[in-house]
Structure 1
Amino acid sequence: MFAVSKAEKSYLLEAIALGTRVDGRSLLEYRPISVQVGVLPSASGSSRLRLGETEVLVGVKVEVGDVAEASTENIQIHFTVECSGSANADFLGREAENWSSELQSALESAYQAANVFDEDRLKLVPGKFCWVFNVDILVLDTGGNMLDAISMATRAAFSTTLIPRVYIQENDGVFELEIDDNPNACDRLHIHRAPTFLTFALLGNNFVLDPSLQEETSARGKFSVAVDTNGDISYVYSFGLLDGVEMSKLLTIVKKTGKLLLDRLDHSIENDSSST
């Protein structure tokens, strides 16, 4: 595990108590974020995002699948998170599996709670066919706060995901689907409800946003909140024990902070899309 000495932790906590951090940020400030979209030509949508020292690659593939018996769902989303062993010595063997499972579970829960996609717009044949989104996430480098980084990168990848147009014909109760293979005959997803996590670490009596690896190791708890473009909360994910007063204090700043972050992220995505 990443280790922090007593002297380092003491210095870190003293700085935070004075309203600053060892890397010069304010308590509620993100590290630099850079994003590229359309980086995987074979994917329906993709992105590569760097948040401080944390870097992730996301690819989305879209296909038409059969609906399970007695199900009426129009959309299935499957997340796979893989932490590269070269990213950090901690992400090897069982440790990597545990982290991957935890990150995957948080994403799946947030997307289910947010009701992200317009199911009427994406409806095929209820009870017969559905859209399947396979989201593959690779953590390339780790510098803390992986959950926020992969949620941002996933939102960015979905923002460029193209949905092929499908034509449906029915003959005596038998449905046939024809997918238009014209690359220009596609529609983009509407992703304003796609959740993005904001993670706060509790150090001493203060919360800090976007904790570094050093801060995560020194924290006595973490609190992650998934928000949409409006800053509305769709899901809460807590690591460690935080009391009700601490959570209440934190939630008062989440809406404004989340909206500012997503405005910044979506602006970066738009600029990168226009330059490719």
Structure 2
Amino acid sequence: MALCDAEKTFVLHGVQDNFRIDGRELDDYRPMELETDVVSHAFGSARLRLANTDVLVAVKIELDVPFPESPQNGKIEFFVDCSANATPEFEGRGGEDLAIAISNTLTTAYSSSLAFDSRKLCLLNGKKCWKLYVDILILECGGNLFDAVSIAVKAALWNTRIPFVKNVNIDGNNIDLDVSDDLCLCERLDIENAPVMVTVCKIGDKCIVDPNAAEEHCSMGSVVVAVSGTKISTIYQTGTGSLHPATLTESLQLGFRVAIRLNEALSKVLSRIRPDEEAGFLK
């Protein structure tokens, strides 16, 4: 998106007056719609629409061997695909750097045992574990991808069904697992403290959350704050600008407050949502 100087000035003046171009205040989010269990061949899935940002997440599971340095833990891996149809900027390899940045930030945020206990994915210490493949597809880009992806990932993991292992047969180095194919005999993941990300952008002298595409182009600098439970687990700076230490502190405080509020709203929605049902929140 290319903005002329007049358009940038309009965005800047609106932020300074706490009245953004779409009528929101500085700490407001755009309307969201969340739908779970949308991919039939996946173990869990979710689709999130944040205004005109559209994200689809599917979770697949396979048996694997734990890492030697963490024999009691399972595995989780994130892959992000920025569709060329999402925005012209993603044509060719235009979205590759952004996809890597989102994937790495998710990996870091979920690496803490406080955020996600991967020990529950371990079946046999040092020998067998579940590996989760979290595939993320950016269908449309209307700004604020980090936040949208983090919410969609958390919802997809909430929707994920882990197959129940009925029997384990060990014959020397051969391990045979009897995995139930009954969906009623499945386990759910504990995602209570799974991280929620909030992007805080500095525009002029003010900090805002949930920037749209126009606001992202006017940002002097931004930081992504990942909050797990009641603690900040990951901080990632985006863009090319820098933030003054005082501004960074203000951004972290704003991101933390908004993440707590966002996570509470998401938890309420997930507690009452049924499979294949769509729900709107933060409207």
Separation of aligned partners in 1, 2:120 and 2:69: 21
Deviation at 1:174, TM superposition (A): 4.9
Counterparts of residues 79-158 of structure 1 (less than 5 Å): 79-113=78-112, 115-158=114-157
Deviation at 1:255, TM superposition (A): 3.0
Which consecutive unaligned segments of at least 5 residues does structure 1 have?
A: none
The 1:178/1:115 distance shift into structure 2, 3 A limit, reads farther
- Which amino acid in the other structure matches residue 78 of structure 1? E
Counterparts of residues 1-276 of structure 1 (less than 5 Å): 2-68=1-67, 71-113=70-112, 115-166=114-165, 167-171=167-171, 174-228=174-228, 230-239=229-238, 240-273=241-274, 276=277
Separation of aligned partners in 2, 1:155 and 1:60: 11
Separation of aligned partners in 1, 2:113 and 2:213: 28
Separation of aligned partners in 2, 1:237 and 1:197: 10
Question: Taking structure 2 as the reference length, what is the TM-score of the superposition?
Answer: 0.91
Contact 2:66 2:74 (C-alpha < 8 Å) held by counterparts:
no
The 1:115/1:134 distance shift into structure 2, 3 A limit, reads farther
Contact 1:231 1:257 (C-alpha < 8 Å) held by counterparts:
no
What SS does the aligned partner of 1:109 have?
helix
Q: Residue deviations 1:2-50, cap 9 Å, x none? A: 1111001111111111111011000000110110000011111000100
Deviation at 1:250, TM superposition (A): 2.2
| Mean Cα deviation higher: 62-71 or 89-98 | 62-71
What SS does the aligned partner of 1:63 have?
strand
Deviation at 1:152, TM superposition (A): 0.6
* Identity percentage of aligned residues: 35
Question: Taking structure 1 as the reference length, what is the TM-score of the superposition?
Answer: 0.93
Separation of aligned partners in 1, 2:61 and 2:161: 8
Contact 1:13 1:203 (C-alpha < 8 Å) held by counterparts:
yes
Q: Residue deviations 1:96-153, cap 9 Å, x none? A: 2122112111111111135433344333111111110001111111100111111110
- Which amino acid in the other structure matches residue 73 of structure 2? N
Separation of aligned partners in 2, 1:5 and 1:113: 43
Separation of aligned partners in 1, 2:82 and 2:173: 46
Contact 2:110 2:116 (C-alpha < 8 Å) held by counterparts:
no
| Mean Cα deviation higher: 30-39 or 169-178 | 169-178
Contact 1:60 1:133 (C-alpha < 8 Å) held by counterparts:
yes
Contact 2:37 2:275 (C-alpha < 8 Å) held by counterparts:
no
Separation of aligned partners in 1, 2:198 and 2:102: 14
Which consecutive unaligned segments of at least 5 residues does structure 2 have?
A: 278-283
Separation of aligned partners in 2, 1:237 and 1:25: 25
